[in-house]
A and B are shown apart, each in its own frame.
Chain A
Amino acid sequence: MSSKMQSSNNIAQARRTVQQLRVEANLERIKVSKASADLMHYCSEHAKYDPLLMGIPASENPFKDKKPCTIL
């Protein structure tokens, strides 16, 4: 590669980096406290529908083996 092409590639690369950084710098952000509250809210709203979290009885989980009934 000629040194002229090399420096053109470097310019193009540097421009791309600057353009990318401009996009990222313009993002609207929220505080971690707000983001955390929202994550926690989602968890608590959905917790009751989460079988691995709540544990569900063997009779309702197709992967858990059902215990045989014993006749008393």
Chain B
Amino acid sequence: RDACAEPHQLSKGETIHTLKTESETLKAKLEEERAKLHDVELHQVAEKIEALGQFVMKTRRTLKGHGNKVLCMDWCRDKRRIVSSSQDGKVIVWDAYTTNKEHAVTMPCTWVMACAYAPSGCAVACGGLDNKCSVYPLSLDKNENLAAKKKSVAMHTNYLSSCSFTNSDMQILTSSGDGTCALWDVESGQLLQSFHGHSADVLSLNLAPSETGNTFVSGGCDKKANVWDMRSGQNVQSFETHESDINCVKYYPSGDAFATGSDDATCRLYDLRADREVAIYSKESIIFGASSVDFSLSGRLLFAGYNDYTINVWDVLKGTRVAILFGHENRVSTVRVSPDGTAFCSGSWDSTLRIWA
């Protein structure tokens, strides 16, 4: 597509060789600029603050009902409802206080890898191997057939890996195995903007906290985390320090940084204004991939779910692990802190979800 839009003739003096040379020069310049500002490590600056005490976090609720691996979950803004999706195609809405199931729908595909709650609390979005993102309005009538009101919004050319409503029920952002992210109008299903730049499957995306403007971050199998301008579609910053797939990306609550979880068994923190990685959360004993990460409300704690069935809790500033949580009987696939920060929820291949506090 782009090859046809641009002139095939080279500008005067420009050859594929000069372009490659300029590319190498720019990359070296970027590294040099980033290195100049690398005057200290975050954990060194954080030495002067008090260490965190012992953490006691326990499973307070276990949500049982999925017949198969839980792949994704999201909290409703009311801080008590949860939507979750699984390998067998089921999408369930729960009241996490009581553990009651409020709605259930069976998707026409398996591996529903993505689900999200609408800001209004009145709908959920989900998708996976069907390459689509569909929106289901939630009615008050629990007997209503949810599938009947389904609206197909997004169409990708490979699996849907992640989806998120923007600040309203009107737009959805998606990421896909086709290597792109896209912004869609829910009502019309129209594609509003597409985001090209990853060279392999995009596995995760996260919107910047609303105060910080219209950007989002994505991570994928090309080991890159990319920051995008939602309006222009421009890739504004790119980070490539992980040694394997990035499974999850999540903004720090101030919007000035974001964390990642990767198959290289590390989680990392990237500061957007310093334009570099500023922390790495790892231990020699942790050898399995991190599938999902989320911050506590203040940003001091990072909860990370791993393929070794555990959840590690990290001190974001000091870079140390402050707790390790056992309970799941298979890979932890998703971790999210509740909107008011009173608890976090984990979903696992053991087919359960757990609420921790």
Contacts and interface: CB of A to CB of B under 8 A. Distances in A.
Interface of A: 4-5, 7-12, 14-18, 20-25, 27, 29-40, 42-47, 49-53, 55-56, 61-65
Q: Which of B2, B56, B61, B300 has the most CB of A within 10 A?
A: B300
Interface residues of B, number: 66
Contact of A39 (B39, B80, B238, B256): B256
Contact of A47 (B23, B237, B298): B298
Given A14-B23, A33-B39, A37-B45, A25 B16 contact: no
Interface string B170-183: 00000000000000
8 contacts: A20-B235, A27-B237, A32-B278, A33-B39, A35-B257, A38-B273, A52-B342, A53-B296
B343 A52 contact: yes
B148 interface: no
B29 interface: yes
A8 to B, nearest CB: 5
A14 B16 contact: yes
B253 interface: yes
Q: Pick the most buried of B41, B97, B274: most chain A CB atoms within 10 A of its CB.
A: B274
A22 B274 CA distance: 17
B252 interface: yes
A55 to B, nearest CB: 8
B301 A33 contact: no
Interface string B70-100: 0000000000100000000000000011000
A38 B340 CA distance: 23
B214 interface: no
Contacts of B46: 36, 40
B236 interface: yes
Given A20-B197, A62-B97, A42 B30 contact: no
Given A43-B316, A50-B297, A56-B342, A32 B19 contact: no
A15 B7 CA distance: 11
A23 B234 contact: yes
A45 B22 CA distance: 44
B8 interface: yes
Contacts of B234: 23
Contact of A32 (B30, B39, B252): B39
Interface in B12-37: 16, 19-20, 22-23, 26-27, 29-30, 33-34, 37
Contacts of B20: 14
A35 B278 contact: yes
Nearest to A28: B273
Interface string B147-175: 00000000000000000000000000000
Nearest to B26: A21
Contacts of B60: 63-65
Contacts of B57: 52
B3 A39 contact: no
**Which 4 A/B pairs are nearest by Cβ-Cβ distance?**
A50-B298, A21-B26, A46-B298, A14-B19
Interface string B329-357: 00000000100111110000000000101
B3 A12 contact: yes
A21 B23 contact: yes
A33 B275 CA distance: 13
Contact of A61 (B22, B273, B343, B344): B343
